[in-house]
């Protein structure tokens, strides 16, 4: 089936061209109402948006075929991430396409604050010549405090260092090595507030960062500080900032983002020393083109190759990695599905181990595939996106283990389920680096393909059992496709995996359970 994508916001036409060049059907329908969007979405596998389209829970519910939402830009405030994850929809953004543009806007606002440019312009154009009124400050030798030193923050740091500023940064995720590489000093927030002449924010809006510059924090700043925010509204308490500007604690502030947007009214409007722009951080010709092209490439890679880039709710998987990992993910999904069907509600935790060649691969997609198979027992709509969430909701403890040791197989994936009765383990390998094959089930060596309809049978190893099994199935009109048998020891516990052409009815399962020596019979579906 040819993937189909809807572009629901105005976007550079080259984005649609990329989709078409990659063999994806695409429709451009900007300015749809929410009801129109919900009506048109069935049948689309991808939705490309900017900031206007609101991908809410009810919109997602109206899109049964949707696999990916691509946001051309950084912020995903207009996408209900939990709802998308619950429905198994990947949400991507383009965090690097407008990084330079946003960083440059922050620097521009810093210059505007330092030299009071908007007020000086308005005064001059009003016919005044107030040269002595606008006494600015130099940026050279001043201390710039970064709240957030990620992609955009690091670009701002580089530009500020070029202006001969000293740069300090508060960022819990900034390593000392990275700080040294950037030529900046890592500090705690209180230190930054006390030392910075200019503060610029470059952090996402989270529960931890909301109101990070509130009334108390602003009171701890260096008197006469100037503050710039091109990141997210809500990082600064706007009412508290107004008070700080009025008191002189803050000498100037420049906001490109507001708590409520569009910001048609704000307590800050008209305050001396305040500059505002209407969320222009990413508004350059180059940035709009870049993010549009990036989102088209990312979505195409996902829909055609399985590559996952810049996803918000799923581990990354490059388009180059995807072909190598695809057979491992197929194997992992089958192992998880086997455990889920045999053990059901008994599973309390799961450990995923990779050995041999598998140990050199990105393990996150393998883990996601195991969980998708396992959780598929409980939900018909589970996939790699929502499986980890479902597992967490069920309280499953998930562990990943990587072994560099020599193993009997060239490559091996082992999945161990914790149950009240103890640990139960299955393992599989790839034949010819492509064909998934079960090689161990609960400590019994069995080589079997996991495909179609199967029966998992545990019995006492005794003469005549296979004949009785075949007779029972034959009498019910069920044809055996393949038969795989293993045992712990002669006369001990034996395990059979029997592939059949059709589903086995419940009454036939009961007949099999009644055979002498049979301990357990579980119908399987792969």
Identified catalytic residue from 232, 337, 414, 424: 232
The pLDDT value recorded for residue 325 is 92
Write down the mean pLDDT value for the chain: 93
Q: Considering the domain 4-96+286-305, what is its CATH architecture?
A: 3-Layer(aba) Sandwich (3.40)
Going from the C-alpha of 275 to that of each of 213, 447, 520, the distances in angstroms are 17, 70, 74
Question: What is the location of CATH 3.40.50.720 in the chain?
Answer: 4-96+286-305, 99-276
Question: What is the location of CATH 3.30.70.260 in the chain?
Answer: 451-526
- With a pLDDT cut of 70, the percent of the chain lying above it is 100
Average pLDDT, integer, range 190-205: 96
Helix, strand or coil for residue 40? helix
* pLDDT tens digits for range 430-446: 998 889 999 999 999 99
Average pLDDT, integer, range 112-138: 94
- With 80 as the cut, is the pLDDT of residue 405 above it? no
The pLDDT value recorded for residue 33 is 94
pLDDT band at 74 (very low <50, low <70, confident <90, very high): confident
- With 90 as the cut, is the pLDDT of residue 318 above it? no
* pLDDT tens digits for range 16-47: 999 999 999 999 999 899 999 999 999 999 99
The pLDDT value recorded for residue 205 is 86
Locate 306 and state its tokens. 């399985």
To which residue do tokens 């499986």 refer? 387
Helix (H) or strand (E) segment spanning residue 424 = strand 422-431
The pLDDT value recorded for residue 209 is 92
Average pLDDT, integer, range 48-71: 96
Can you say whether residue 317 is alpha, beta or left, with left for phi > 0 and alpha for psi between -120 and 50 degrees? beta
- With 80 as the cut, is the pLDDT of residue 407 above it? no
**Per-residue b/e over 265-285, b at no fewer than 16 CB within 10 Å?**
ebebeebebbbbbebbbbebe
pLDDT band at 391 (very low <50, low <70, confident <90, very high): confident
Average pLDDT, integer, range 306-330: 88
The pLDDT value recorded for residue 475 is 93
Identified catalytic residue from 71, 105, 279, 424: 279
Q: Is 232 a catalytic residue?
A: yes
Average pLDDT, integer, range 73-93: 91
* pLDDT tens digits for range 206-260: 888 999 999 999 999 999 999 999 999 999 999 999 999 999 999 999 999 999 9
On the 0-12 / 13-18 / 19+ scale of CB atoms within 10 A, 123 is: middle
For domain 99-276, give the fold. Answer: Rossmann fold (3.40.50)
- What is the CATH number assigned to the segment(s) 451-526? 3.30.70.260
With a threshold of 0.75, does the pTM exceed it? no
Average pLDDT, integer, range 264-291: 92
Question: What is the location of CATH 3.30.1330.90 in the chain?
Answer: 320-444
The full DSSP string for 273-335 is: TEEE-SS-TT-SHHHHHHHHHHHHHHHHHHHHH--B-SBSSS--B-TTHHHHHHHHHHHHHHH
Identified catalytic residue from 21, 216, 261, 286: 261
Considering only CA atoms, give the Rg of the chain.
30
List 274's β-bridge partners, or say none: 253
For domain 320-444, give the fold. Answer: 60s Ribosomal Protein L30; Chain: A; (3.30.1330)
Helix, strand or coil for residue 429? strand
pLDDT band at 151 (very low <50, low <70, confident <90, very high): confident
* pLDDT tens digits for range 155-177: 999 999 999 999 999 999 888 89
* pLDDT tens digits for range 319-354: 888 888 999 999 999 999 999 999 988 999 999 999
- With 80 as the cut, is the pLDDT of residue 381 above it? no
Residues in the chain: 526
The pLDDT value recorded for residue 223 is 97
Q: Is 178 a catalytic residue?
A: no
- With a pLDDT cut of 90, the percent of the chain lying above it is 79
- With 80 as the cut, is the pLDDT of residue 406 above it? no
- With 80 as the cut, is the pLDDT of residue 491 above it? no
The pLDDT value recorded for residue 433 is 80
Helix, strand or coil for residue 161? helix
């Amino acid at each position: 089936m040819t993937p189909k994508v809807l572009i629901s916001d105005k976007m550079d036409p080259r984005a649609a061209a990329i989709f078409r060049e990659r063999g994806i059907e695409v429709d451009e329908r900007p300015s749809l109402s929410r009801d129109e969007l919900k009506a048109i979405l069935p049948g689309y596998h991808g939705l490309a948006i900017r900031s206007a389209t609101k991908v809410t829970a009810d919109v997602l519910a109206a899109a049964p075929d949707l696999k990916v939402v691509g946001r051309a830009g950084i912020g995903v405030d207009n996408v209900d991430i939990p709802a998308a994850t619950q429905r198994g929809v990947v949400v991507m953004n383009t965090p690097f396409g407008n990084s330079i543009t946003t960083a440059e806007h922050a620097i521009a606002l810093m210059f505007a604050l330092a030299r009071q440019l908007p007020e000086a312009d308005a005064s001059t154009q009003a016919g005044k010549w107030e040269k002595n009124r606008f006494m600015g400050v130099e940026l050279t030798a001043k201390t710039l405090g970064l709240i957030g030193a990620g992609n955009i923050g690091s670009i701002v740091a580089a530009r500020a260092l070029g202006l001969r500023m000293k740069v300090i940064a508060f960022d819990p995720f900034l390593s000392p090595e990275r700080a040294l590489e950037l030529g900046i000093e890592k500090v705690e927030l209180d230190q930054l507030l006390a030392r910075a002449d200019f503060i610029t924010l470059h952090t996402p809006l989270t529960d931890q960062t909301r109101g990070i510059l509130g009334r108390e924090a602003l009171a701890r700043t260096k008197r006469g500080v100037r503050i710039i925010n091109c990141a997210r509204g809500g990082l600064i308490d706007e009412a508290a900032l107004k008070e700080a500007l009025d008191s002189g604690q803050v000498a100037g502030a420049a906001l490109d983002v507001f708590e409520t947007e569009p910001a048609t009214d704000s307590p800050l409007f008209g305050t001396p020393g305040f500059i505002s722009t209407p969320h222009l951080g990413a508004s350059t010709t180059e940035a709009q083109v870049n993010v549009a092209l990036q989102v088209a490439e990312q979505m195409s890679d996902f829909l055609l190759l399985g590559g996952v880039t810049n996803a918000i709710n799923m581990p990354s998987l490059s388009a180059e990695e995807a072909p190598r990992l695809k057979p491992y993910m197929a194997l992992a999904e089958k192992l998880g599905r086997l455990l889920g069907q045999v053990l059901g509600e008994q599973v309390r935790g799961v450990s995923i181990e990779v050995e041999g060649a598998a140990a050199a691969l990105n393990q996150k997609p393998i883990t996601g595939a195991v969980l998708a198979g396992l959780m598929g027992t409980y939900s018909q709509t589970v996939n790699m996106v929502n499986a980890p969430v479902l597992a967490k909701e069920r309280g499953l403890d998930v562990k990943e283990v990587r072994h560099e040791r020599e193993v009997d197989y060239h490559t091996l994936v082992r999945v161990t389920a914790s149950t009240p009765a103890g640990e139960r383990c299955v393992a599989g390998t790839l034949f010819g680096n492509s064909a998934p094959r079960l090689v161990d089930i609960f400590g019994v060596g069995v080589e079997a393909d996991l495909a179609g309809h199967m029966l998992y049978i545990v019995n006492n190893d005794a003469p005549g059992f296979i004949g009785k099994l075949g007779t029972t199935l034959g009498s019910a009109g069920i044809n055996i496709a393949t038969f795989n048998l293993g045992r712990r020891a002669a006369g001990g516990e034996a395990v059979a995996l029997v592939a059949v052409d059709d589903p086995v009815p419940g009454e036939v399962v009961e007949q099999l359970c009644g055979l002498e020596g049979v301990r357990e019979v579980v119908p399987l579906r792969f």
